[in-house]
Copies of this chain bind each other. A is one copy, B any other.
Amino acid sequence: MADPAPRIRFAMEADVPLLLGFIRDLADYEKLVHLVEADEDRLRRTLFGDIPRAEALIAEMDGRPAGFALFFHSYSTFLAKPGLYLEDLYVSPEYRGQGLGKALLKRLAALAVERDCGRFEWSVLDWNEDAIGFYRALGARPVEGWTVYRVDGAALTALAEGGKDIS
């Protein structure tokens, strides 16, 4: 009998509870579960509403959900092309070591090429050496010399107050 092959499909609205479970499991693995504010209603609205802000793939093994990847399109002005940015990649512990993470990354790379993206990118926690080794083996290289700056919470509201009346 052949080895079971993963099936990868786009997530649909009915997958919202499944996605929320994966998001919580991933946060737990990353030791960041205290930061999760997502709920089903917000996921439904932002992923499957009038303006979908990201897309997700579900990986199944023997018909059972085994992992997911959530991505959106970035943009490079230098290339004048979109990029594909992988926000989250997660495989449930019981399905690890069967090539599912790699299958998801390959499917996303194929999607990036289909959609004429100039690059495929994601962020990695610096302490996650296993992940870094895995990504390097697939041809990924660190983008060095840049730091992300963020405005959120009260600082975002304060900055926005000054921008409401600029037309």
Q: Which residues of A contact B (CB under 8 A)?
A: 6-9, 23, 26-27, 32, 35-39, 42-43, 46, 53-54, 70, 72-82, 85, 87-88, 103, 105-113, 118-127, 132, 135-136, 138-152, 155-164, 166-167
Instruction: Say whether A150 contacts B120, CB under 8 Å.
Output: yes
A–B Cβ pairs within 8 angstroms, 17 of them:
A6-B166, A23-B78, A35-B78, A37-B79, A37-B80, A42-B80, A42-B81, A43-B80, A46-B82, A109-B163, A110-B162, A113-B160, A121-B151, A136-B149, A139-B158, A140-B151, A142-B147
Which residues from B are CB-within-8-Å of A163?
A: 103, 105-111
A72, A103, A142, A152: residue with the most chain B Cβ atoms closer than 10 Å: A152
A140, A145, A150, A155: residue with the most chain B Cβ atoms closer than 10 Å: A150
Determine how many copies of this chain the complex contains. 2
Q: How far is the CB of A40 from chain B (nearest CB, A)?
A: 9
Which residues from B are CB-within-8-Å of A54?
A: 75, 82
Instruction: Say whether A124 contacts B149, CB under 8 Å.
Output: yes
Q: Which among B72, B141, B148 is the interface contact of A122 at CB below 8 angstroms?
A: B148
Instruction: Say whether A81 contacts B143, CB under 8 Å.
Output: no
Cα distance A32–B145 when bound, in Å?
Answer: 13
Cα distance A127–B148 when bound, in Å?
Answer: 13
Instruction: Say whether A166 contacts B124, CB under 8 Å.
Output: no
